[in-house]
Structure 1
């Protein structure tokens, strides 16, 4: 692997991995009231555009990192919707 490819994979690991602690904490606490839905949606849409771009140019680090990140943020959106609804009914 080239230096550029290694750099891309390392950047993808760090930026994608940054979502994991928030997903874990939200799942464990069952609370998402302090998380902004707009931030989650805008970030997910931006990552979707990066994924499309990465697919168009055939850049594997971009494709893998953004696919993983979209999955993480989609789960956060789902938890936010669910837990916010549960907070309102209790």
Structure 2
């Protein structure tokens, strides 16, 4: 029963991972297309990036494929937004 329960929980994790990661991607795409970063807070992006990195480390140590997958993709997305914030800022 423990294995079935573990697989069920990981399935829930993958669904949550898909939804939360997918929800973040439109912001990355919109920022890339419009090059408008005025609504993005640099400090929020940095805190988010560090938080997602720590979730990735946590997922690695918990051996949770859903956490590793979601946080790897979200870390890349957060990195892109930080890159856009630096690159597209008004000088």
TM-score w.r.t. the length of structure 2 is 0.89
Counterparts of 1:41 and 1:15, CA distance in 2: 18
What TM-score results when the alignment is normalised by the length of structure 1? 0.90
Give me the whole-angstrom Cα distance separating, in 2, the residues matched to 1:80 and 1:18.
19
Extract unaligned runs of 5+ from structure 2: none
The number of aligned residues is 86
Name the structure 2 match of 1:72.
77
- How far off is 1:33 after superposition? 1.3
Q: How does 1:6-45 map to 2 (within 5 A)?
A: 6-45=11-50
Distance 1:75 1:35 in 2: 12
Task: Quote the offset at 1:6 in angstroms.
Answer: 1.1
SS at match of 1:73: helix
Query: RMSD of the TM alignment (CA)?
Result: 1.1
Pairwise CA distance, 1:18: 1.4
The structure 1 segments of at least 4 consecutive aligned residues displaced by more than 4 Å after TM superposition are none
Which secondary structure state, in structure 2, belongs to the residue aligned with residue 31 of structure 1? coil
Give the corresponding residue for 1:83: 88
